[in-house]
Structure 1
Amino acid sequence: MASNAWSEKILHLLRRMNNFYSAGNQPLCHTFSSTTRNCFYRAVFAGSSRSSCCRFEIDGAQVGWIPPHVSALLTRHADVFLPSQEGAVSLCPSLDCYERRSEAVNEVLETFRTESSLKCLRGWRDEKYNVKPRFCDVPLMWMERAATSLFGVKRYGVHINGYTVSDSGEIHLWLARRSITKQTYPGLLDNMVAGGLAAGVGIKYTLIKECEEEACIPADITMKAHPVSTVSYTYEDEEGVFPESQFVFDLELPLDFMPCIGDGEVQEFYMLSIEKVKDLLATDDFKPNSAMVVLDFLIRHSFIEPDTEPYYQEFVMGLHQRL
């Protein structure tokens, strides 16, 4: 039987990363019992701004959620944003194509960057993220990565679990410790390699690029990575709303291979036993969404099983929530 204290800490992590839900909008599979639902969602709804957010719509399709303090700022830019109607903020009809929308919104964001105190814009990256209702849809515009939380725009990334299997079958995971100079979560533990999915860039390309840049893993090894899952969640904090989905890959590395520090985004790599990794998951030393990716790995590889983990269903639900 899993430690109750460990299980509760993992459950707390999943609640924290799925806190953008109103009591009347629980995105749950109908097959779960009311007891399971209540167990997972108690303490989630307190403080959520979901009911007061405006939908962000482009050409009639919802692409995000705009917090109240951001909606108030947009009223000053009537040439770009239509006033809120029936709970939705839309772009002006004259912005009728990808480039016009992108450029007009970016001009507003550049103004916010210099005039407002929006904390997230201090991390401006000059990195474009596509804006679209679903991953499979045609992009409707691009938006600066640092601003996406202001509009609750869905962000996508690629995370790679690097692991080894000994001759006796024992599995060890490679983890990275983020550089202390990183804009977000400096110094915390992370997946071996991870990176955001920029506009116009494919998943496999991002996988190969990030492996080479962050961990000096050559392409011939990276190409052996297998797509195994997605991990999806939506949380909010003082910087806005974060609907995110990570494409997860497993990559078995040769026993004699060691990832090396590449572009400086990582300060150190560790190869750790599964038990050590499990212990670390229940601490504050892990980047939260990366801890979720590792939890998904542990479940898929049967290191966490329903006979011994009382919150097994809640764990699985918490890893696969989406708006």
Structure 2
Amino acid sequence: MANSAWSEKILQLLRRMNNFYQPGSFRASCFRFEIDHAPVGWVPPQVASLLTRYPEVFSPPRDGAVSLCGGLDSYERRSEAVDAVLQAMRQEGSLGCLKGWRDERYSVMPKFSDPPLMWMERAATSLFGVKRYGVHVNGYTISDSGEVSMWLARRSPTKQTYPGLLDNVAAGGLAAGVGIKQTLIKECEEEACIPAAIAEKAHPVTTVSYTYKDEDGVFPECQFVFDVELPLDFRPRVGDGEVQDFYLLPIDQVKELLATDDFKPNSAMVVLDFLIRHSFIEPDTEPCYQDFVAGLHQTLE
């Protein structure tokens, strides 16, 4: 693919994954989601109208915000009250995202470093635009002659999201109460049979942040990114069935694949960041270098 066509494809990916910021997006019509006066998310207008049916849990939208009722004044009370509402909505079957209920609890807080104010079912977080956090691992090798290759996973065709697409060697969401490195080691073992002794050598390198909207709501996400150099004689193996296969590809081929529809979008962003950090994309030869860097690190104010 010619350089300019490749660059334009990457820009399209970054615009799509940051479309909540784009002029004309429905951000202007969303309500802030507040808990105890702290902003923790964005509620689409159609969701805000549904929440008015539960006045014992949600105060009516006011001053551009939807908030929890004042009597819900603890982590447990908030979590249980909101979960009861979500379970009721799930039974009605009118919200598509709740059909993917996972029984996974995600922490809700203004910033990652803040104490959680409540937990929420993972499948429902987009209804409230609650920030989700995850861990992505770039697994790569360096040959004796210095050539870099990367291990990629192909997601199972039965995955709820992005079935059959290319992915990082291991990745997973951060569940409530579980640490970042702990999640990394767990996902490496479960998805790719990477033993803890190797996974523990992964080192944190950056975060990749973006916010997009689709028919299921608002997705502000932040991925903690790790790099791990895998031994040349090591081969990841399919573990828990979330992956159907692994491929070791030369870095030039990985770069070309980023501009196709064969890659899970946020994982493509994580690999793009790897290419920039390891100087496979350089500012002297890539006219869109600044746009790429900015698009990988967009956060909501």
Q: TM-score, normalised by structure 2?
A: 0.99
Q: Which residue of 2 aligns with 1:12?
A: 12
Q: Which residue of 2 aligns with 1:161?
A: 138
Q: Match for 2:104: what amino acid?
A: E
Alignment length (residue pairs): 300
Q: Secondary structure at the match of 2:90?
A: helix
Q: Does 1:151 align with 2:128?
A: yes
Give the Å deviation of 1:181: 0.4
Where do 1:1-323 residues align within 5 Å? 3-21=3-21, 44-46=22-24, 48-323=25-300
Structure 2: distance between partners of 1:185 and 1:60: 35
Q: Secondary structure at the match of 1:84?
A: coil
Deviations along 1:83-124, one digit per CA (max 9) or x if unpaired, are 011000000010000000000000000011011411100100
Query: Does 109-118 or 185-194 show the bigger shift?
Result: 109-118
Which aligned segments of 4 or more residues in structure 1 are displaced greater than 4 angstroms?
A: none
Identity of aligned residues (%): 77
Q: TM-score, normalised by structure 1?
A: 0.92
Q: Secondary structure at the match of 1:20?
A: helix
Q: Match for 1:140: what amino acid?
A: L
Q: Match for 2:141: what amino acid?
A: T
Give the Å deviation of 1:45: 2.4
Q: Secondary structure at the match of 2:189?
A: helix
Structure 2: distance between partners of 1:126 and 1:322: 27
Structure 2: distance between partners of 1:257 and 1:126: 33
Structure 2: distance between partners of 1:113 and 1:10: 36
Deviations along 1:14-45, one digit per CA (max 9) or x if unpaired, are 00000102xxxxxxxxxxxxxxxxxxxxxx32
Structure 1: distance between partners of 2:98 and 2:248: 35
Give the Å deviation of 1:5: 0.3
Q: Match for 1:45: what amino acid?
A: P
Q: Secondary structure at the match of 2:209?
A: strand
Mind listing any 5+ residue stretches in structure 1 that lack a counterpart? 22-43
Deviations along 1:173-203, one digit per CA (max 9) or x if unpaired, are 0000000000000000000000000000000
Structure 2: distance between partners of 1:317 and 1:109: 35
| CA root-mean-square deviation | 1.0
Structure 2: distance between partners of 1:311 and 1:297: 16
Give the Å deviation of 1:263: 0.2
Answer whether contact 2:93 2:99 (CA < 8 A) is retained: no
Structure 2: distance between partners of 1:215 and 1:146: 24
Structure 1: distance between partners of 2:216 and 2:264: 17
Structure 2: distance between partners of 1:45 and 1:118: 27
Q: Which residue of 2 aligns with 1:33?
A: none
Mind listing any 5+ residue stretches in structure 2 that lack a counterpart? none
Q: Secondary structure at the match of 1:81?
A: coil
Structure 1: distance between partners of 2:140 and 2:270: 13
Structure 2: distance between partners of 1:49 and 1:118: 19
Structure 2: distance between partners of 1:176 and 1:185: 12
Structure 1: distance between partners of 2:109 and 2:183: 19
Structure 1: distance between partners of 2:183 and 2:68: 30
Q: Secondary structure at the match of 1:92?
A: coil
Q: Match for 1:20: what amino acid?
A: F
Deviations along 1:128-180, one digit per CA (max 9) or x if unpaired, are 00000000000000000000000000000000000000111110000000000
